[in-house]
Amino acid sequence: MSRLTSAAAIALAAIAWTAQAAERFPGVGRAATRAELRAWDIDVRPDFQGLPPGSGSVADGQKIWDGKCASCHGTFGESNEVFTPLVGGTTAEDIRTGRVKSLADPTVARTTFMKLSTLSTLWDYVRRAMPWNAPKSLSVDEVYAVVAYLLNLADIVPADFVLSNANMAEVQAKLPNRNGMTRAHGLWDVRGKPDVANVACMKDCPVQARVASSLPEQARGSAGNLADQNRAVGPVRGEGKPSAREAAPASMAEQARAAGCLACHAVDHRIVGPSLRDVAARYKGDASAEAKLVAKVRQGGSGVWGDVPMPPHPTLDDALARALVGWILGGAL
Amino acid sequence: MGSRLQRAPESFLDPQQIAAVQGGRREFLRGAFAAAVAATAATPAARAEPAGDSAILELPEHSRSLGQPVAARPYGMPSKYEHNIQRRQSPGLTRVAEASVSFAPLQGLFGIVTPNGLHFERHHQGWWDIDPSRHRLMVMGLVREAKVYTMDDLMRLPAVSRMHFIECGANTGMEWGNVAVPTVQYTHGMLSCCEFTGVPLATLLDDCGFDRAKGRFVLAEGADGSSMTRTISIERALDDAIVAWAMNGEMLRPENGYPLRLVVPGVQGVSWVKWLRRLKVGDQPFGTKDETVHYVDLMPDGMLRQYTSIQECKSVITSPSGGQQLLDRGYYNVTGVAWSGRGRVKRVDVSFDGGRNWRTARLENPVLTKCLTRFNIDWTWDGGPAILQSRAIDETGYVQPKINQLRAVRGTRSIYHNNAIQSWKVADTGEVSNVQAY
């Protein structure tokens, strides 16, 4: 029995596979093993279902933070450089009420802790997705420590705090925005009731007689040259003047086409004349081939490949003729 | 009149010449082409004949020589003349390109199908091209038997192919407060529409024997670094959600979740988890990062709406649209797309005077549920200023709202679910710009 088969047999025995008598899709899919479930079942729910046992201190969190997190989020989670700030905008009063007052203030930019209503979310996300360039690299205790440090930065727990699976629920009860979410809206259910209503007026409908908003002058051009973002045919053009595009240097195949070679010669099969690969094969190893073929191209000839003559190409530029012959002898790649 | 025309088609008549044709005068031809006629005409009789368009008179190379063989490009690409039609980032919108958006060029698209290479992108921690032979889907939680499926397994199952739109919840999110971006690519380009092929999610849940009494929610999780997770309701899961491996007849593109993604018709794109690796049935919603810290809609009183999912009825005129320039006065086929996360589009009305008067547009077939619907309407531009708007109505009778109606309820800071009527102003120069008018 192969190693693979025996491993599978053990796994099957361990989880007591029970084939269904009336299985609809026999042979499709298999039972997950316990180890597989443990490896992937990483989500933590708001009621902390899925939260693994462990703990981490604010002090340990700070060490991990300085090494792995601060470069993006700032030493105090306040940075607005790479990502929006994590910490700020919450007060002791918010911790008491569970509603972040500054969310109603249009002048205050939203931070993570202003919005966060469930502690499980932060824990779950740090474990599954952080650090940014090495997700899932933190141990369970390290995740507790990083979350503890963030909670301390947000003035929710003291500096000597140790966060653990045993006290997550206590901390949840202090989250500044724990009461700040609502599901009372019509956008969850496909048959939900819309909160905004318009009417399909068709004639002489009431409208304001002015344009309420238009693109600010300083924003014009911010999205680049619009002439380059619209098709160059059709009923409209993009605003402005199309940018000059740098023409890509023509490939040898394109130059051969432009010179008329490919009207009679294909790369890999005979048309009127021999294929270019056949020409390359015939002259392989012949040191004088280039000079012979350049002369043939310019003067024309017949007899080598049959009776159909190759017409002369007296106007073909000499350098181009040599380049084309070189390309052909190299296999016309 | 000549000044009306901003750019004549290349190598053809200039504005004065077109004006002359439109004015019923033909003598310009003799003048305009006098040099060419003089150069080629040998007789006085020929001198009296007008010449014409060089695109007709001078046979092009493609009519005079041999073209390219079959399979010269084993995977075909668009014409080199179509290089302007690309997906693009909106400058300044995000700071990290791995957690960002590229917008579909709606201004250049036709019909309702988004070409796979132009489908909008939204990634949370970068995209991957995952080896399908190593990809697995696990279905677990409140099920009789947690199961693992390979791609081989999934692609043996009874498949469906259905056309649906996908729209990011934040589409048009930059325009809540005021006009912010110039073109329909940036206002509405987090929108695409494909035919998706895959196995109904209900089939997989049944295959694992999910708990019909307690199972109320399904968590979907991706295999990327972010392991993006979203909660969907069991009603959506059992209704029309698909575990899909194909779009528009080929396998998913890596940027769109190759080899496996969730399709949740009518629901915002963030729930269509890409690189799908796990589905978990539960009795409570999961409160993930992208439904607690992001994708929550801020109301004026500071309350956040959580689990907003459905994309309500919406439409937009794609041509003419912002940042474009009409070529001239006269006839235009005004065209756009409409869609609803609650079902079929029933009707689209178009206004040319900023919403005062409306006419009903033609809907092109097919008109499918939770799918883009193309509309067209005739318009003759008289050269005067105009404001173009479209207003969609879905089969529930819901009428697409105006931005001021949305703001009256939701304020200007909710980011998500802006389905307002879009206004495009046409200036007397033929320049089209993004405005808000209501």
Instruction: Please provide the DSSP assignment of A306-325 as one string.
Output: -SSPBPP-TTS-HHHHHHHH
- B18-23 average pLDDT score: 54
pLDDT at res. B151 = 98
Q: Residue B38 pLDDT more than 50?
A: no
| pLDDT score of B30 more than 50 | no
Rounded percentage of chain B residues whose pLDDT exceeds 70 = 89
> B-contacting residues of A 55-84, CB under 8 Å?
81-83
Q: Name the pTM for this structure.
A: 0.85
Q: Distance between CA A223 and CA B322 in Å, rounded?
A: 12
Enumerate residues 241 to 260 of chain B having a beta carbon within 8 A of any beta carbon in chain A.
none
Confidence of residue B2 (pLDDT cuts 50, 70, 90): very low
pLDDT at A218: 80
Question: The sheet that has B217-222: what strands, in order across it?
Answer: A30-31, B147-150, B136-141, B276-282, B217-222, B229-233
pLDDT given for residue B358 in this prediction: 98
Count how many Cα atoms sit within 13 Å of the Cα of residue B297 in the half-sphere of its side chain: 29
pLDDT digits (tens, 9 = 90+) for B259-303: 999 999 999 999 999 999 999 999 999 999 999 999 999 999 999
Residue B388 CA to residue B375 CA, distance in Å, equals: 14
Cβ neighbours, 10 Å, residue B384: 9
Per-residue pLDDT at B13 exceeds 70: no
Residues whose CB falls within 8 Å of the CB of residue A51, separated by 6 or more in sequence, listed in order? A44, A120, A123, A165, A168
The size of the A-B interface in CB pairs under 8 A is 325
For residue A98, give the chain B residue with the closest CA.
B303
pLDDT score, position A219: 80
Statement: residue A73 has pLDDT above 50: yes
Q: Find the CB nearest A104 among B83, B183, B300.
A: B300
Interface test with B, best of A18, A25, A86, A268 (most B CBs within 10 A): A25
In chain A, positions 178-197, which contact chain B (CB-CB < 8 Å)?
Answer: 180-183, 185-192, 194-197
pLDDT score recorded for residue A308? 81
For range B26-45, the mean pLDDT? 45
Q: Please tell me the least confidently modeled range out of B88-102, B200-214, B385-399.
A: B88-102
Mean pLDDT (whole number) for B357-385: 98
Looking at CA atoms only, how far is residue A224 from chain B in angstroms? 8
User: Coil, strand or helix: which one is B393?
Assistant: strand
Least confident of A68-72, A319-323, B122-126: A319-323
What confidence tens digit (pLDDT) does each residue in A106-147 have?
Answer: 999 999 999 999 999 999 999 999 999 999 999 999 999 999
- What number is the average pLDDT over the span A320-327? 88
Which residues of chain A have a CB within 8 Å of the CB of B322?
A: 215
pLDDT at B357: 98
Q: Name the pLDDT band for A208 (thresholds 50, 70, 90).
A: very high
Count helices and strands (H / E) in chain A: 13, 6
Contact yes or no for B145 and A18 at CB 8 A: yes
Which range among A21-25, A120-124, A260-264, B311-315 shows the weakest confidence by mean pLDDT? A21-25
Residue range A242-261, pLDDT digits in tens: 998 766 667 888 888 888 88
Mean local confidence (pLDDT), B161-170? 98
pLDDT at A20 over 80: no
DSSP state of A133: T
Averaged pLDDT, A48-57: 98
- Per-residue confidence at A1, pLDDT binned at 50, 70, 90? very low
B294: nearest Cα among A210, A328, A111, A70: A111
| DSSP H or E segment with residue A160 | none
By C-alpha distance, the chain A residue nearest B89 is: A223
- Residue A311: the pLDDT is 82
Chain-chain contact of A183 with B307 (C-beta, under 8 angstroms): yes
pLDDT above 70: residue B16:
no
ipTM greater than 0.85:
yes
Chain A neighbors of B433, CB-CB under 8 A: 214-215
Cα distance between residue B47 and residue B76, in whole Å: 47
Pairwise CB contact (< 8 Å): A32 & B7:
no
Chain B residue closest in CA terms to A83: B95
Residue A28 has pLDDT above 70, yes or no: yes
